[in-house]
Every structure is written in C-alpha cells, then in structure tokens.
Amino acid sequence: MRTAFITGASSGIGAAFAHKLAAEQYDLILVARRKERLTSLATALHQQFRVNAEVLAADLSNPTDIDQIEQRIAGLGTLDLLVNSAGFGLPGTFVEIPLESHLEMIQVHILASVRLTYTALPGMIVSGHGAIINVSSIGAFMPRPGDATYCATKAYLKTFSEALQAELVGTGVRVQALCPGFTDTEFHDQPVYKPYHLKAKIPKALWMSADEVVEQSLKALKQGRVICIPGFKNRVLVALARSALKPLLLKVLEKRLRN
C-alpha cells in the first residue's frame, strides 16, 4: 500500500488531494490545524475507500509543530508522496499588514515546505521512488500589488521545485510545482477576503474546482512535468505574464480587484 502525506488537508486543494489519492488506494497522513475537520475527513475516506487515514493536528506557523511532523515523516518506513498544500492569503499592501503576518506566511509556505521536503527526500532517494508536490500559484509568475509576500513565497516554491527536480534526475524521485489560478474553495471565503468580493469580480470562466486542479496535477506528475499550470486559460495568463504585455496584464488585474 502506498502512503501520501498531505498538509493543509482539511479543505480546498489539500482535501481534494486526499479524496483523489484515497480513491487510488493510498494510505493517508493528513495534516491541518482543524482536528475536527481532519477527523471527519479521515473517517469518511476510510469508510468509502477502505484506506488508513491518520490525523495530525498541527499549525505549520509553529516551528514546534513542524518538529513533530518531521519526526512522523522520519519514522515512516517509506513515503511515496508528499503534498505541501498548506497556505493562506494576506490581501492588502505590504505596510498595511502586520509584520508578524508576513513572517507567518513565509513560515507556512516556505520554511515548512522546505523542512518537510528535506526530511522526506533521503528515504525517497534510497528507495528509488517517490514524489513531492509543492502547491504554488500562478501568482508566482505575476507579482501583484496587494499580494507581495504571497506572490514572493509562491515564486520561491516554483523555483525551488524546478531546481530540486534538476538535482534529482536519475534518482527516481519527482518534484512538481503546482501553480493553480483562481480555485473555488474556502480560500477566498475567509474574512480577510470578504471586502474584495473576488468571486463576484473575477469571471466565472477563470475559476476551477479543486478536483479539476488535483486531477491535472497528478496527470502532470505521471508525465514528469515539473511545472503544472492547470487550465488552458491559466496557461494563457501565465504566457501573457511572461511576455511584453506583463505590465498591462498586472494593471488590468489590479484595477479589477481594486474596483
């Protein structure tokens, strides 16, 4: 039986990974802050797919909690898949947001992902197989005003994944940076996003479901693609962001979100 370790598993893309991998008969270790949500998910997945689903309630902004997660990974005989999916947003200009919140985001998005990857990799290399998916964002290609730290942390995950995969050529271990666009989850329902009314301002055609994102991610992983940008329209946006039209694209996005 294969084993997958998923952070941010209580909702959104993390929960969608849990459902999809359970359907593929992975045993699961699920990590998030909300123990009740995790327990409910684990119970449902066990009943539906007859897989083992372990719950680890932890806050990845807390280094002590990360220590405990590292110990759990180190104690596994083998780990087939690590999904670093935990994350959150901080809309607003850099100086408006408390410094502690920026540092917390860097801790969750970057430091936790790097630490868990560092812990999981040696066993994967020894066994000659395994995979790591770091959930980035198309924001990694578009450094938007009002999302400075978010876009920067996601850009780190993209670049880190690309460089790491290059180092691991020939080991049997695969790394992916998953870069979704607007995804219909609880992410944008958080109180900090309510004043922005994003789900009303962003055209419905640009939104994807978490299940669609995960399905395309796992397909890309099997194909050996390091950067996965799910959805044709998201790939078009990224192509524009990489072109001379980038300033215009960012200006349009900023105007739509501000208005």
The structure tokens 């119970």 sit at 43
Instruction: Given the residues 150, 156, 193, 196, select the one marked as catalytic.
Output: 150
pLDDT in tens, 158-184: 999 999 999 999 999 999 999 999 888
pLDDT at 128: 96
**CB-based burial, 213-234: b 16+ in 10 Å, e otherwise:** bbebbbebbeeebbbbbbbeeb
pLDDT at position 257 over 80: no
Q: Is 118 a catalytic residue?
A: no
Tell me the domains of the chain and their CATH numbers.
2-258 (3.40.50.720)
CA distance 38 to 72: 17
Closest to 142 in 3D by CA, of 48, 251, 23: 251
Express as a percent the part of the chain with pLDDT over 70: 88
Which long-range contacts link 195-203 to residues 24+ away (Cβ below 8 Å)? 196/91, 196/257, 198/257, 201/256, 201/257, 201/259, 202/256
CA distance 226 to 167: 12
pLDDT at position 108 over 80: yes
pLDDT at position 100 over 70: yes
Alpha-carbon distances of 164 from 45, 115, 133, rounded to whole Å: 32, 14, 12
Alpha-carbon distances of 143 from 31, 41, 61, 250, rounded to whole Å: 29, 34, 23, 8
pLDDT at 200: 61
pLDDT at 196: 56
Q: Which residue has the higher pLDDT, 42 or 207?
A: 42
CA distance 188 to 166: 34
Contact 181, 13 (CB under 8 A): no
pLDDT in tens, 144-156: 888 999 999 999 9
Q: Which helix (H) or strand (E) holds 142?
A: none
Express as a percent the part of the chain with pLDDT over 90: 76
